[in-house]
Chain A
Amino acid sequence: MPNLQSPHWPLLIDIYFFLVGLAGGAFMAAGVADIFGSRKDRVVTKVGTYLALLAMLPGPLFLIIDLGMPSRFLHMLMVPKAATTIGMSAINIGPFHIKPYSPMNMGAWALLGFGVCAFIVALTLYLEDKGGTINLAPVRGAFGAIGVALAFFVAAYPGQLLSATAQPFWRNARPLGALFLAIGASTGMATIALILSLRGPEVSGSLAKVRRAYTIAVVLQALALIAVFMAVARGPFWSASRAGLLTSGSYSLAFWVGAVGIGLLAPLILEVRDGFFQGYRQGRGMVAVASLLILVGGFLTKYVMFAVGQG
Chain B
Amino acid sequence: MARTLAMFTDTSVCIGCRACEVACKQWNQLPAETPVWTGGYQAQSHFTDKTWRHVKFIEKKDERNEPKWLLMSDVCKHCNNAGCLEACPTGAIYRTPFGTVDISQDICNGCRYCVSACPFGVVAFNHGTGRVNKCSFCVDRTSEGMQTACAKTCPTKSIEFGYRDELAAKAKKRLAALRAQGVKEANLYGEDENGPLGGLNAFFLLMDKPEVYGLPVEPRLPQKPIFKDAGLSAGTAILVGLGAIVAFRQRGGGDNGGEE
Interface: B239 (CB within 8 A)? yes
With both beta carbons as reference points, the residue of chain B lying nearest to A2 in the complex is identified as B216
Which residues does chain A contribute within 8 Å of B86, judged by CB atoms?
A: 87-88, 99, 101-102
Which residues does chain B contribute within 8 Å of A178, judged by CB atoms?
A: 229, 232-233, 235-236
> Are A108 and B89 in contact, with the CB atoms below 8 A?
yes
Total chain B interface residues with beta-carbon distance under 8 A: 78
> Are B230 and A69 in contact, with the CB atoms below 8 A?
no
Binds B, one of A26-34, A50-58, A130-138: A26-34
Interface: A204 (CB within 8 A)? yes
> Are A209 and B243 in contact, with the CB atoms below 8 A?
no
Total chain A interface residues with beta-carbon distance under 8 A: 84
Interface: B32 (CB within 8 A)? no
Q: Which of B14-60 contact A (CB under 8 A)?
A: 45-47
Among the listed B111, B126, B228, B259, which residue makes an inter-chain contact with A279, where contact means beta carbons less than 8 Å apart? B259
Name, among B46, B85, B112, B240, the residue most crowded by chain A CB atoms within 10 Å (CB to CB): B240
> Are A36 and B250 in contact, with the CB atoms below 8 A?
yes
Which residues does chain B contribute within 8 Å of A102, judged by CB atoms?
A: 86-89, 113, 223
Interface: B154 (CB within 8 A)? no
> B103 CB to closest chain A CB, in angstroms?
11
Question: Could you tell me which A residues sit within 8 Å of B by CB distance?
Answer: 1-9, 28-29, 32-33, 36-41, 44, 66-70, 72-73, 75-76, 79, 82-83, 85-88, 90, 97, 99-105, 108, 148, 152, 156, 159-161, 163-167, 170-171, 174-178, 181-182, 185, 189, 204-206, 208-210, 212-213, 216-217, 220, 224, 227, 279-280, 310
Q: Which of B111-169 contact A (CB under 8 A)?
A: 111-113, 115-127, 129-132
Interface: B199 (CB within 8 A)? no
> Are B247 and A216 in contact, with the CB atoms below 8 A?
yes
Given contacts A40-B257, A75-B92, A167 and B85 within 8 Å (CB-CB): no
Which residues does chain B contribute within 8 Å of A156, judged by CB atoms?
A: 230, 233, 236-237
How many A-B pairs with Cβ below 8 Å? 259
> B212 CB to closest chain A CB, in angstroms?
11
> A288 CB to closest chain B CB, in angstroms?
19
Given contacts A67-B109, A165-B87, A166-B117, A208 and B259 within 8 Å (CB-CB): yes
Which residues does chain A contribute within 8 Å of B129, judged by CB atoms?
A: 68
Other than A68-B108, A165-B83, A310-B116, give 18 A-B pairs with Cβ distance below 8 A.
A2-B119, A2-B215, A4-B120, A5-B47, A5-B124, A7-B112, A68-B126, A75-B108, A99-B89, A156-B230, A164-B226, A166-B83, A177-B230, A205-B257, A206-B258, A209-B247, A216-B246, A217-B240
> Are A33 and B116 in contact, with the CB atoms below 8 A?
no
> B214 CB to closest chain A CB, in angstroms?
4
Name, among B89, B215, B235, B245, the residue most crowded by chain A CB atoms within 10 Å (CB to CB): B89
> A76 CB to closest chain B CB, in angstroms?
5
Which residues does chain B contribute within 8 Å of A72, judged by CB atoms?
A: 90, 107-110
Given contacts A72-B109, A210-B247, A166 and B118 within 8 Å (CB-CB): yes
Ordered by A's residue number, 20 sampled pairs between the chains whose C-beta atoms are within 8 Å are A3-B46, A5-B116, A41-B257, A44-B248, A72-B110, A75-B108, A76-B109, A79-B90, A83-B91, A86-B85, A86-B95, A101-B86, A102-B89, A104-B89, A164-B222, A170-B116, A177-B230, A205-B260, A212-B246, A212-B247
Q: How far is the CA of A39 from the CA of B117 in the complex (A)?
A: 48
Q: How far is the CA of A146 from the CA of B20 in the complex (A)?
A: 54
Q: How far is the CA of A121 from the CA of B104 in the complex (A)?
A: 40
Q: How far is the CA of A206 from the CA of B256 in the complex (A)?
A: 10
